[in-house]
Every structure is written in structure tokens, then in C-alpha cells.
Chain A
Amino acid sequence: MKLYEYQTKELFQQVGIPTPKGKVIGSATELESVKIDFPLPWVIKSQVRKGGRGKAGLIQFASTEEEARNVVQRLFNHPEKISKLLLEERLDIKKEMYLSIIIDPETASPLIMACTEGGMEIEEIAKLFPEKIIRERVDISRGLGNFQARNVMYSLGLQGKQIANGAQVLMQLYRLFRSCDADLAEINPWVITGPETVVAADAKMNIDDNALFRQKRFVKSRDQFDDDLEFEAFQAGLHYIRFDGDIGVMSAGAGLTMTILDLIHHFGGRPANFLEFGGAAYGRAAKAMDIALKNPKVKVILITTFGLIARADVIAQGIAQAITELKPKIPIVAAVRGTGEEEAFKILEGLGLEPMRYTEEAVKKAVAIAAGRAS
């Protein structure tokens, strides 16, 4: 789950990481009523989840109140559907740097990355200044050492009091990273504004979805999703991603589902979605079909499972329930195999469906139906 900038900065303020003075507003009228205790000029930043806000015109400057009112008005009417703006004091930037903590899958450790060049995406930094990226691996059982934080600050070339202050920021960032179950905590740009001060001009944090059960303060709401159906699926414990093809995919297990998408493309078809109801969700085939059918572009439903714990007989019962309740008007192709498959085949036959025994045959059939070559 991606936090908004203002949420991340609230967390920063709680642990003493310096941020610009700021105020969040939720409407243009709120600008009139709130008390803003920092002087113009302001930076007005749209709170959206995606990067590249500057280029997209979602970050604006205002040097008079009149200008601020116009900018606020314009941004709240932006097609991007912005629900919050962050107003901030405009910093006197001497230098922009980059600082982040990620989980490095290769070493299975938290990894600190820092760079004397900031203000652009890390991918860009890595391309332009690969030799300037400072990496510091953290042993998760030992935690981040003060000496490691100091090493990073010296490598960044910080001076005087900036070193202790910067190291303190990194220590607190690591504590937040751990205590919030983040998989990314990023300050970019991290800006030097004076001989002692380093300020988090922008802030980004992603929380591990798997840890949300113990991170109750973070709740995934509709605005975390690109699409209504994706949100509906999430609420039902399913994973759905919409594409623009016409074959409605229902599968169990992420690896198999990805393979089905690959096979559909291979045989010349186009998937309408990724929809996975494996693992603990295998009893929810009926709900999965409900969601798959809600995309009006879908011409055929392709169900391919090869379950282990996701028992084929339970999945077949779910399909039976879905067909009874939803009465789908489009063809269904089903290869439901794995644990309990003989029972599943009987259930499918009872529904008048041909139980397919080979995944690739099922995919080919669905592709042919979508192309109008079969029914």
C-alpha cells in the first residue's frame, strides 16, 4: 500500500525527521478557513500516488494569495481527481540529495541507498550516476548501526552538524521502516537548506500489504486502486487486475495465472483480466466469477486451476453455485484439476460443461471462442 506524501510526512514529524512547514486541505473552501502559519511563497502539491507529479503539472507554486487561490481551484478541478492538496513553505534549496531504504530481494536485507544527486526517480539516478550511489546493507537481526548511518553521511559529503543531524534522520527512517512494515521509505529530494539543516522535501513510504493485519492505522481504501472492480475483488480477498482483452481469466495460484496470460497471448488471444483465487480464497470461485463477468468486454470465461490445497472439488462446487446464481450468458471453458479432480469432473459434467483435462487445450478453446471460431 502506497502512503500519500502528507501521510508519510506526518509519520516523519512524529519521529523528528525535519520536513517543510505545511498544511493539508481537502477543498478550495478550506483554504479560506484554515490558519496557515508560514509565509508565502508556497508550493502546492497534489496528493496522488503516482510519481512524476512535477512533469504532470500536479505541483505548482504560488507567490501571492490570489495565485494560491487560483492554483488550488485549478488542481481540485483536475481530471486526476485530487482529494487533498499539501501546501508547503517554499524551501531555500542549496543542494538536492537522495536517501531511501528498500528491501533487497537478492541479499534478503534492508538496503540503504543514498546519492548526492536527488530530485529525480531512482531509476534515472541509477542510469545517470551509477557510481555515485552509496549502498549500505543492514543485517536485520542486528539493526542499523549508528556507525553505518555516519558512514553514509560522510560518503554523501555532508559537513559539520549536518553529519550528526543527517545520521539521526537515517536512524529514525530505519525505525519507521521497521515499525511500519514498509517495503520502501524514500526521501527524494532530501535537501540541504543551511549549514546545519537537511529537510525531507518529498517523502514516500510503501507498506507491505501482508503486514496490514498488524498495521491497523493504515487502511486500504478505494483510492489505492485504479479500478472499481480491483477494489471490489480486494475486499473479497481476491486479486484482480483489468486488461483490455476479451477472455475472462479465473485461475488459482499466481504462477499458473501468469502462465495462463502468457498462453493466451501465445495462442493469439487477449486476456480481459488477471484474477487469482488460490490459497485461502479457493472457496470463493463464485465471487470470482461474479467479478470476472462484470467486465462487459468479456466474451468467454476461462477457468484453469491445478490446485494443491485449492481443492478441485471445492472449486467446481463454487463454479456450480456461480452458474446457478449468476446464469452467465457467455461460454465457460473449465480445466479444473489437481486435488479432488475426479469429483470436480463429475460436478462440471453435471453442469453440462466439458471438463477439460489439459490446460493448453482449454486456453486454445477459449481463444477460439473469443475469436468467433468456436462456441
Chain B
Amino acid sequence: MRRYFGRKVLIYLLTFFVAVTIDWLIPRFMPGDPVLSMLGRVGTAHPDTVNAMREYFTRVFGLDVPIWQQYLNFWASLLRGDLGVSVYRFPREVADVIMTAVPYDIALLVPSILLSWIAGNKFGAYAARRKWLDNTILPLGYTLTATPYMWLAILLAWGLGIKLDLFPIAGAYAFDMAPHWSWRFISSVLHHWILPFASLFLVNFGGWAIGMRNVIIYELEADYSHYLEALGAPQQLVRKYAYRNALLPQLTGLALQLGVIVAGALVTEVVFSYPGIGFQLLAAVQNQDYFLLQGCFLFIIVGVLLANFIIDIVYVIVDPRTRRGMTGEMA
């Protein structure tokens, strides 16, 4: 087991290293001079201002020191938690902007991932029971999983939000409120949360249902299932074993899907103007706020790595074979 975790941690550290390096590299190797483009955005022509700004930006970008030192400085500030200052949200620090946005992402992602995974697996297992169930759940599942996240978000926003006027479609809470503890505020938050949550939930649900249905059919035809049936065990027991065994590859699948799910959350936030990292990311892109952009990028990477690690731990708990030193599918 130590070997299993050792390998995993190594991969995550390497990945983090690669990601940070990419993050540092890209602005420096993209066509064009980042200082010049920053200057262009400032939009003055007065030579004194321009010079002062050029100096400032050169310092801020760290371009006045040799390249290897720039790289090390980057790491140094990263480990200090200093992600720079946001340009379009000046003078707020990037780290600060990100931290305010994170709770909203967690509020969206954690429930939707957990619930869609659990519910999707249950429904996928049902589909394997009867032909008519299979014929309904399967097309539904495929449709849902083929739906682009933002389109479903758009549909829900337009249909339930605007046409039926059941839910609000922008922001995390009503615009006339400031965050405080009261039922009014909490219900407003929930009200604003439901559509983006539902959107994420539905698309992911489809994927899990399909996945589980395919895996469980395979498990139901496994030798151990046939043996139980030959010994006259009730279908309930056979299905229970098949289901539990099918959950393992589904767990692995969850880890693999994290990148996609996060991307889905990003676009959903854009549609609903929900102030999570995705929303900030888009704003950063539109305002060419490179510090914020890079900060969000790093944060997303770290988040995904952490989530992967958590899933790895859960997997070890759930699959007895990994504990006994036999590597399962994950390693």
C-alpha cells in the first residue's frame, strides 16, 4: 500500500510541478511582449508615464533578472501564497479574489458530484434489471451525457428562470442583499443555487447512469455471479455483489472525470453569472488580467489534484484488494 500511495503522490507532485512550470512559461513564450501588451492596455502615450509603467511592469513580471531566477522567484512567491495583484480588480490581491470565489464553487461542485454519482449509479443499476427500464434509462442517460453543460444551463435558465419565472438566473444571491445570517439571505442563496446545481447534476447523472449500466451488465455475467445463481442465491444477493463490484471502476471513473466536471462547472457559472472561480476566470480572460488568470489556473490544478488524492484514499478503503497489496485498476 505504501507503494501504491507513493506512486500516486509522486505523480501528483510531478503534475503540480509541470503545471506551475506551464503557468510560468506560457506568458514568457507567447508571441509578443507581455510588458508591451500591458502598456498597450494602459493606453497613455505620455513618455514619462510610459517609462514609469514599463519599469513597474518589468519589475512585476520579474523580467529584469535572469530567467532561472525569475523561475525560482515565481516558486518562492507561490509558496508564500502570493499570487500577485489582480489587474481588473485592482488593488485586490489575486489570492483574495480567489478565496472569495471558492465557497461558491464548493457549494456547486461537492453536492452535484456526490449526488449525481450516487443517484446515477443507482439508476444505472436499475436499468440492468428489466428490458423496459433499460430502454428508457439508456436513451435518457445518453442524451444527458451528450448535452453540453452550458446548453443545459441555458435551457434551464431560459425555461425555468425566464419563461416560468421560477428561479433567478444571475448571481449567488439577490442583488439588493449583502451577505449576513438570516433566513431571507439563506433562502435567497438557495434559490439562486438550485438551477446551476441542477444543471451540473443532470449532465453528470446521465454519464454515471450509462457507465454503471455497462459495468454492472458485465459483472452480472461474471463467473462469481453465475456460481451464486447455480447455487440458487436470490437475485437480490447476486445484484448486490455485482453492484458493489461495479462501484469500483465507477470510482476510478470519477477521478478521471474531474477535469471535465470542473470545466462544466466553469461554463455553468458563466451562464448564471455565479461568482465562482469559473466566473472570475472568464472575467480575467476578458479583461486580460493575466495574474488573476494564472492564479485561477493554479488553484484549479491544486483543487483537482487534491480531489484525486481524496478519491485514491477512498478507493483504498473500498477495494480490499489494494489493502492486501494487490494492485487494483487504479495503480
Q: Do A and B bind each other?
A: no
